[in-house]
Structure 1
Amino acid sequence: MINKYLYALILLIFSVSIYAQESKKDVNSISREEVLQMNIEELSAYDLEEIMKLMDIVGASTIEELYELLLNKDVTSASKSEESLFDSSLSTTVLSYEEIVSNGATSIEEALKLVPGIIIREKTNGNYDVQIRGGQNMPMNNMLIYAENTTTLVMIDGRPVFNYGMGGILWETLPVSLGELDRIEVVRGPSSALYGPNAVNGVINLITKETKSDTPLVSANFQGGTLNTIIGDVSVKKQFSNKFSAGVSYYLESRNRGSEKIYAIYDDQYYTLDEYNDRNAVALWDLHIENDVYNDPKRGKEKQGINAYATYNANDDLSLQLSTGYLDANAITSTIGDTPSPYNQRISYGYYTNLTGNIYGFNLQACLNNTLQVFNKKHIGWTQETEQYNISLDYLLKFNKLSIRPGLSYQSIYYDDRDHIENIGDGYFNGRVSLKNYAVSARFDYHPTDKLRFVAALRDEKYNKPDKWQPSFQFTGSYKINDNNLLRAVYSRANQSTFMINAFSNYTWNLEGTSNSVDAVHFGGSAKPSMMIQDMFEIGYRTRPAKNLLIDIEAFYNKSKDYSALMPDSMRTNVAANLSTYTTLYTSYRDLDIKSEQYGISVSADMVLSEKLLLKAHFTYQQSKVTDLLDLSRNQVAGLQGAQYQPALTNDITNYYLYITGQGPYADAPNASYSSGYQPGESYYKDMDNEAIPSFWGSLSFTYKPTDKLDITAQGYYYDKYYLYSQYETSSNRPADPKYTGHIDGKFSLNAKVNYKINNNISVFVNARNVLNNDTQEYVFMDKIGGLYLAGFNFKL
C-alpha cells in the first residue's frame, strides 16, 4: 500500500513541477521582516549589489552584521515569549528548517545531532535513542526502557507528545514530517515549571510552518536509496485572505533493516530465535517466532500520515489555529517490555486535534491525542487504546519593568485494554485506567536595569495518583555585559509524572510449558508510585567575539532522587491435591533509595566565514555517578529467592503428601501455598559510575556554496564508548566472550550532501549518511548500522 501512495506522490510532484518558474524576491519591494526571515542559503541567491540593498533594508553596516542578524534567530520555547536567542537566559538552541535540509538529515531524530547536549544513537534503520545530556539507565540492571528517553518532553507546536503507558517518547509516532517544520527549538535542563511533568532533562519543541502570502502553494520533498529507504512528503497550503489560511500535507517513510535476524538472550549469549529455540525444548514465548511476532523482520520502519491546518486571524486581539492529523506507524526497535529478545515490534495508529489561540490577551491551547498502541506485537495484554486531553490557559500582564504570566492547566490520560483481551486478567491493566493532574503556574520576568534580568517560573501540580501536590520551579538570572557578551545562571527542579505501568500494572505472564523454573510472573503496580525529581544548577556564557561568530558555553550539575522500578517481591508456589505445583514470581513497582549525580559541560559555535562557507561545531562532556545501587539484576534477585526457598518447598510437598495419604496432619490442607519474600542485604549495594551514556560526544559540520546553485554540506559526528547494564547483562555477571554485550565502542560517522538548485523551485541532491560505512553497533543489543545512500529532490511552487 505504501508503494501505491508513493507513486501517487511522485506523479503529483512532477505534474505540478511543469509549471514551476524561477522566482526570486525583488530587492526593491522586499520588506525588512522578509529579509530577517531569510536563511543563509536564500541569501546566497543574490549578487553583491543586491546584498548591499538588503543590508540597507535591515540597517546592517557590514555583510558580517547581516549574517549575524540571520544567525541570531528569535526563540519562544525558552520563556513562552518571543525573545532573541542571544538574550535567552536558558541553554537554548534553534535549528531552522533550512539548516536541517542543508545537512541532509532524513528524520527529526537525526537532525538533532546538530544540537549541542543531545546524544543520538541509531538502533535500527530510522529508529533512534535520543537523550538530552543523558543521566538515565535508572535503575541499572533493569529493563531497557529505563535507559531510554523517559525524561525528555517533546512537543509539536506546544502540544505534548508523550507515552504515558510505559513512559517516554515513541519517536516513530511523531505525526509530523521534516518538510512541515519551520524550526526545532531545544531547551536543555529541567523545565517542568514551564511545560509540566517529564520535562526533566529538557524540552524539544517542533514548530510547524505558518501559512503566509509568500508560502508556496505546493511543496514536496522526496528521497530514496539503499535498504529500500523511501522518505517523502507533499504539502498544499494557501492564504485565502488576510484572515484565513489552510493547508494539508501527506508524508511517508519506509526503511529496511540491515539484517533480517531477530535475536534473543540465553546464558549471556546472543542467538537468533531459531538458535534460541534449538537450545530450549520450547520457546520462552510460543509467540516468539520471527514470521509471526515479526511479520516482516527485515522492515525496520514504516510510517505514513496526513495533517491538516487552518488559521483564522480576526484582528490583533483574536486569532485561532487548528490542526488535526492521522498517523499509522510500525517499527522494529528495542523492547520496552520484559521479553527474552531485546528486539520489539511496535504498532501505533490514531489521530490528534490541536487548537491554539490568542483571545484578547489570553493564550489558549487544547488538544486531544487518540491512539491505539501495540507495545509488543501479538503478545496478549500489550495492546491499549489511549486518550489524552490537555488544556492550558495563561495571560500576560505587563508592568514597567516586570511581566507576569499566570496560568492554569489540566491533563487527563486514559488507557483501556478491555477490547483487546479475551478474559479479564489477560491484560496489563484489565480495564480503563486514568491519570489526571491540574496545575497552577506563574512566570515572573523582571528587568531592574537594561543589563540585569531575573526570571522565575513556579508551578504546583496536583495528581490523582499519587494523591499529592508536586511543586517545580526555575530561577534564572542573566547579566548582559554588553551587546556581545551575556552571563547567565539557572537553578531549577523538575519531576517525572506517574506512568500507567507504574500505577496500574495487573498482569500475569503465563510461562507454563516453557523451560523456565517458574510458571508465571505477576507484574503489580504501586498504590503510591513515586515520581523522580531532578535538581539542576547551571552557569552559562554566551559571546559574539566577532559579528559572524556565536559561541555558547554551559556547565551543569544535576542531582536526581525518588526513582522507582519493577523489582521482585516474592516467590510463591501452590500445591494441588495431585502434588503438582504452580510457582509464581511476584514483582511490583517499588520506590528505590538510589540517587544519581551528573556534571558536564557543552560548548557550541556557529561561524559564518564568508558568504560561501559556514561552520558549526559542538561538543559535550559529562560524568554520572550512582549511589546506593542494587548491584543485581531482577533475575538475579529472583534466583536468590528461589535458591533460598527451594529446600523448604521440598519439605512442604513431602508433608503435604503424607497428609493426603492419611499418614500425618497438615494445617494448610486442602491446597497448600508457600512463599519466600527474600531480599538481598545491604552488602549488595554499592556506588559506581553510570556508563550508559558516552562521556564525550560532538559534531563538526560545514556548508560550502561555491556557486549560487550548488552547496555542499558535510558533518562529522562522534561519541565515545559506553557500557549499558541491563536485565540481559549486569555489572556483576559480565559474559566472558559473548557475541554481543552491553559494551559499545566509540564511533565516528561522516555525513555528506550535495545539492544543486535547478531554479528557485526545484533542487536535486545526493545524500550519504555514514558515507564511510562504519557499520558498528550504536545502541546496545541492536543492529549494526552502516551507510545509507540516497538521491532525491525538493520542490516548491
Structure 2
Amino acid sequence: MNIKVKIFLFTFVFIATMLSNKTFAQKEKIYNQMTLDELLDIDVVVTVSKKPEDLFETPLSTTIISKKEIENSGVTNIPEALRLSQGVIVREITPGNYDIHIRGYDDVTKNVYLTLAYNSTTLVMIDNRIVYSYLGGGTFWETFPVDLNDVERIEIVRGPASALYGPNAVTGVINIITSHAHKKGKNIVVNASLGNNKTKHTSLNVGYNWNDKTKLSFSGNFARQNRFEEEYYDFTKREYTSLDNLEMFVSPIKNFDTYEVWTYDEYQKELGAYYDEELSLKKLGGNIFFTHNYSENSNIDVAVGAQKSQSQKIGFLNLSTPLSQSKSTSYYINSKIKLNNLYAQFNINSGKDENNYKFNSYKFTNVEANLEYFKQFKNFNIRPGINYKFLSCNSPFTYNEPLSFNTLNYQFKDSPRETSSYSAFVLSEWKPISKIRLIGAVRVDKFDFNKNYFTNYEVASTYRINKNNLIRASYSKANKSPFFFDSYLNSSMVLRYQKVKDLNGEPVLITSPVNIDVKGQEDLKYPTITNFDIGWRTKFNSNLSLDLELFHSKVKNFVNPNVYYLLESAHQLSDQGEIVWTIPIVESHADVLFENYNVRAKQFGVGFTLNYEINKQFKAKLFGTYQHTDLLGNKDISFETTDTSIGAINGDKILTTYTNLTVNFTQWSDEATPSFFGGFLLNYNPNKKWNFSTNGYIYSNYKYARDNYYEITNEDNILDARTEMDINANVIWNAKTTYKINKNVMTNLTFKNILGDHREFGFADNIGASFLIGFQWQY
C-alpha cells in the first residue's frame, strides 16, 4: 500500500469531521444523550481491544452472536452458529464436521501437499485460549471440549488481528466466550434433542454461585451424527463408489524385486485403515469452571476439561479418497488471573489424534503463558505484554528417518519435534477528544525453528459523529506462523513408471522406478496479509441499524512444494552414432521441497449487517458479504528444463543422458470462495410461552479442483490429471419452534436444511434434511 493511502488512514477521521455539521468543541458526552433503554441495549465486546467496550464503538469489523440468538435459531453446534454472522464462510463437510473461513482466501493459503484445502488462516480461541493445530495449521472444531451449553456469546473480528493475538489471525479471530452460574445459588440446565438419522445432542450444566463472589460449575456434552450416505469419492474413477470398490490414485511399489505395487485392499489392511461408514461424528466433552472475585478489580478464573471424539472429514493425506477417520483425545487447563491492572494467563492443551491412515496420527502438547499490564492516563492508555509458547509435536512425518509410503514405517517414536516462541507486544489508545479514538498495536514473534522475526501491526481510528453514527478505518498486517509439517516434513515414495516402447521392431514393456523425497524446510516466510478496512455504523432509529464495511487486502509469501527432477534416459546408438530407440525414463529421482513461491493474491469486498426490531416481539437480521479475489504471479502448473548433460556410452552402444527439470504442480485458484455469502434471521416471540424462529444461510456458486500431480508428466496431460467439482448456489433454510411449559421446562421442534440434499464441500458428503425434538430443564 502506497504512502498516500497510509496518510489517508490517519487523516480519515479529520476529513470526516470537517464534513460533519458538528464541531469538535462539543463537550456533551455521547452516552449522556442516550435513553435508559438504549444504554441497557448496548452490546459489550472484549476481543477487539482486550477490554470491555460498546460494540458500536469498536474500530474493527466485529460481530457478536449472542446466547439468545443461538438458542432461538436452532443451531446444534458452535461452527453452525457462525452462520449467524456476516463475513463467515461455513461449509459442512460431513454431518457435524465443518470448514470455516473469514472472508475467503480458501484455496490460496492451504497446505497444497494435502488432498484438499482447509482453513489455517483464522485464529480461534475459547476464553482467549488459542485452539489451533501447529502440525499443519487449522482448527479441528469437533475436538472442542465445550459446546453450545457453555457459550455466552461468540465474538468475530474480521480482518487481520495478529498484532493483538499473535500469528495465524490472518483473516480474523473467532473468540468463544463461556459463562456459568449466573444467578445466585444453584444453577442447573439440562438440554437433550433427538432427530432423524440417529442424531443425538445432550448437555448438562450444574453449578453454584456464592453471592457472585465465587462460582463453581461442571458441564458435559455428547453428540452423535451419522452420514446421509455411505459412499466415498474415488479420485481415480471420478465418481462416488462403495468403500470396497475404491482405488488408489497413486500406488507405491510394494516389492522392489518385482515392481509389484500396493492395491487399495492390501494398503488398507496393512494400515488397519478401516471406516465406520455410517458414523460422521461422535464426541464427548466435560469441563470444570471456577471463578473467584477477590475484589472488584482482582479475580482468578480456572477452567479444566477433556474431550474424546471420532469423526470422518478431510484434511489428511489419503491415497484414495478425501475422507479419513480420526479418533481424538485431549485435555486442557486454562487459568487467568487479574490483579488490578495486571493480567496473566497460563494454559496447556495436550492430546493425541489417531487417524485410520496411521501415518497421519500425531501427538501434541501446547503450553502458553501471557502477561499484560494495563495503564490508563487521562486520554491515553497503554497495554504492553509478553508471551511465551512451548510447542511439541510427535508425528511420523517429522522424524529424521523418512516416512516411507512403500514400507509403511509409521510407528511412533520417542522423537517429538519441539520449539518455543517468544513475543512482545503493545496496544495503545488515545482519545484526543470524546468523539475521536486512535488505536495502535504492534507485536513481534520469534520461533526457535525459524530465523525470521514475524512483525505484525495495526492502526485504527473511529469518529463518533453523534450517538447514532460512527465511521471507522483500520490498516493492519498479519501472518501465518511456521508449522512443524512445513518445517520438518520428511517422507519418501517410490513409484512404478511403465511404458510400452517399440525396441527393434518389438513392443517391450519398460518398467522403471521413480524415487520421490518430500522435505520441509525451516526458515521459510509464511503467508502475510495487509488489509485496509473502512466502515460506517448507523442507527436510523431505535429499531433499525446498519453496519457497512469495505475491505481490500493483499497476500504474499506463499509456500509451495516445488519438484526438482533428475531424469535418466537411455538411447541405443547405431554404428553410425544415430539414435535407434530411446527409453525416456530409465530411472528418475524427484526432490519435493517446500519453498516460498512467486504468487500473490488480492481481494476486494463489501459486507453489511442490517438489524430491524419491528417491535418487542419481532426481530429481523439480514447480512451478507460480496468479495472478489485475484491471483497474480506464477499461478499455473509449469515445467522448466534447467540443465541437460550427456553420460558415457557403454559397450552396447547405449548412451545415457540426464535432464534436470523443475516443476510447479500447483494450480493456484481463486474459484473455491463464493463471491457472495450471507444470511438472515427472523424471530417472533408473541408471548411468554411461544417463540418462532427461522434462519437461512446463502452462498453463490464456487468450484473445487484437484490435480493429481503423480499423473502429470508434461504440459499436454495437465487437464487429464485434474478433477473438478462445482458447488451450486444454495439456501440452507432452518426453522425452530419453542414452547415454554412452565418456568423450568421448555420443548422445541427444529427443522434443518428444509430445502433438501446438497453438497457444500468438494468431493465430500451430501448433507440431508433433518428434524429434531428437543427438551430443556433448568433450575
Scaled to the shorter chain, the TM-score interval is 0.7 to 0.9
1:314 equivalent in structure 2: 294
Of 517, 527, 531, 1:532 maps to: 527
Contact 1:506-1:523 within 8 A present in 2 as well: yes
User: Would you say 1:383 and 2:361 are equivalent positions?
Assistant: yes
The structural deviation recorded for 1:550 is: 2.1
Of 410, 434, 459, 1:450 maps to: 434
User: Would you say 1:782 and 2:764 are equivalent positions?
Assistant: yes
2:337 equivalent in structure 1: 357
Q: Provide the C-alpha distance between the structure 1 equivalents of 2:171 and 2:497, rounded to a whole number of angstroms.
A: 44
Q: Provide the C-alpha distance between the structure 2 equivalents of 1:205 and 1:246, rounded to a whole number of angstroms.
A: 22
Instruction: Note closer, same or farther for the CA distance 1:116–1:517 as it changes in structure 2 (3 Å cut).
Output: farther
Contact 1:390-1:412 within 8 A present in 2 as well: yes
Instruction: Note closer, same or farther for the CA distance 1:690–1:409 as it changes in structure 2 (3 Å cut).
Output: same
Per-residue Cα deviation, 1:204-258 (whole angstroms, up to 9, x for no partner): 0001114344475211111111121111111111124554321111111111111
3-state secondary structure, aligned to 2:76: coil
The structural deviation recorded for 1:747 is: 0.8
User: Would you say 1:747 and 2:736 are equivalent positions?
Assistant: no
Aligned length: 705
Which deviates more, 617-626 or 261-270? 261-270
User: Would you say 1:107 and 2:90 are equivalent positions?
Assistant: no
3-state secondary structure, aligned to 1:312: strand
Instruction: Note closer, same or farther for the CA distance 1:70–1:339 as it changes in structure 2 (3 Å cut).
Output: farther
User: Would you say 1:170 and 2:140 are equivalent positions?
Assistant: yes
TM-score, normalising length from structure 2? 0.83
- Alignment map for 1:635-650 (pairs within 5 Å): none
Of 583, 596, 611, 1:591 maps to: 596
Q: Provide the C-alpha distance between the structure 1 equivalents of 2:659 and 2:235, rounded to a whole number of angstroms.
A: 27
- In angstroms, what is the RMSD of aligned CA positions? 3.7
Per-residue Cα deviation, 1:32-67 (whole angstroms, up to 9, x for no partner): xxxxxxxxxxxxxxxxxxxxxxxxxx99998xx73x
Instruction: Note closer, same or farther for the CA distance 1:525–1:737 as it changes in structure 2 (3 Å cut).
Output: closer
Q: Provide the C-alpha distance between the structure 2 equivalents of 1:366 and 1:117, rounded to a whole number of angstroms.
A: 31
Contact 2:158-2:171 within 8 A present in 1 as well: yes
Q: Provide the C-alpha distance between the structure 2 equivalents of 1:732 and 1:743, rounded to a whole number of angstroms.
A: 24
The structural deviation recorded for 1:346 is: 2.3
Q: Provide the C-alpha distance between the structure 2 equivalents of 1:285 and 1:585, rounded to a whole number of angstroms.
A: 27
**Greater helix share, 1 or 2?**
1
Q: Which ranges of structure 1 fall in alignment gaps of 5 or more residues?
A: 1-57, 667-671
3-state secondary structure, aligned to 2:681: strand
- Alignment map for 1:664-743 (pairs within 5 Å): 677-680=660-663, 690-728=670-708, 741-743=724-726
2:746 equivalent in structure 1: 763
Instruction: Note closer, same or farther for the CA distance 1:725–1:485 as it changes in structure 2 (3 Å cut).
Output: same
The amino acid that maps onto 2:379 is K
3-state secondary structure, aligned to 2:707: coil
Instruction: Note closer, same or farther for the CA distance 1:139–1:422 as it changes in structure 2 (3 Å cut).
Output: closer
Q: Provide the C-alpha distance between the structure 2 equivalents of 1:619 and 1:232, rounded to a whole number of angstroms.
A: 32
Of 559, 579, 591, 2:554 maps to: 559
The structural deviation recorded for 1:470 is: 1.5
Q: Provide the C-alpha distance between the structure 2 equivalents of 1:781 and 1:761, rounded to a whole number of angstroms.
A: 45
Q: Provide the C-alpha distance between the structure 2 equivalents of 1:495 and 1:111, rounded to a whole number of angstroms.
A: 26
Instruction: Note closer, same or farther for the CA distance 1:126–1:84 as it changes in structure 2 (3 Å cut).
Output: same
User: Would you say 1:302 and 2:285 are equivalent positions?
Assistant: no
1:287 equivalent in structure 2: 267
Of 84, 97, 102, 2:54 maps to: 84
User: Would you say 1:608 and 2:586 are equivalent positions?
Assistant: no
Q: Provide the C-alpha distance between the structure 2 equivalents of 1:140 and 1:418, rounded to a whole number of angstroms.
A: 21
3-state secondary structure, aligned to 2:235: strand
Contact 1:238-1:245 within 8 A present in 2 as well: yes
**Greater strand share, 1 or 2?**
2
Of 139, 144, 155, 2:125 maps to: 155
Instruction: Note closer, same or farther for the CA distance 1:742–1:428 as it changes in structure 2 (3 Å cut).
Output: farther
3-state secondary structure, aligned to 1:528: coil
Instruction: Note closer, same or farther for the CA distance 1:510–1:274 as it changes in structure 2 (3 Å cut).
Output: farther
Instruction: Note closer, same or farther for the CA distance 1:353–1:60 as it changes in structure 2 (3 Å cut).
Output: same
Contact 1:478-1:486 within 8 A present in 2 as well: yes
TM-score, normalising length from structure 1? 0.81
The amino acid that maps onto 2:763 is F
3-state secondary structure, aligned to 2:724: coil
3-state secondary structure, aligned to 1:503: helix
Q: Provide the C-alpha distance between the structure 2 equivalents of 1:450 and 1:732, rounded to a whole number of angstroms.
A: 65
2:382 equivalent in structure 1: 404
User: Would you say 1:485 and 2:485 are equivalent positions?
Assistant: no
1:440 equivalent in structure 2: 424
Identity, % of aligned pairs?
Answer: 28
Contact 2:396-2:411 within 8 A present in 1 as well: no
Instruction: Note closer, same or farther for the CA distance 1:342–1:268 as it changes in structure 2 (3 Å cut).
Output: same
Q: Provide the C-alpha distance between the structure 2 equivalents of 1:418 and 1:129, rounded to a whole number of angstroms.
A: 25
The amino acid that maps onto 1:526 is Q
Per-residue Cα deviation, 1:629-657 (whole angstroms, up to 9, x for no partner): 3312xxx86xx99xx99x999x99x95xx
Contact 2:421-2:447 within 8 A present in 1 as well: yes
2:315 equivalent in structure 1: 335
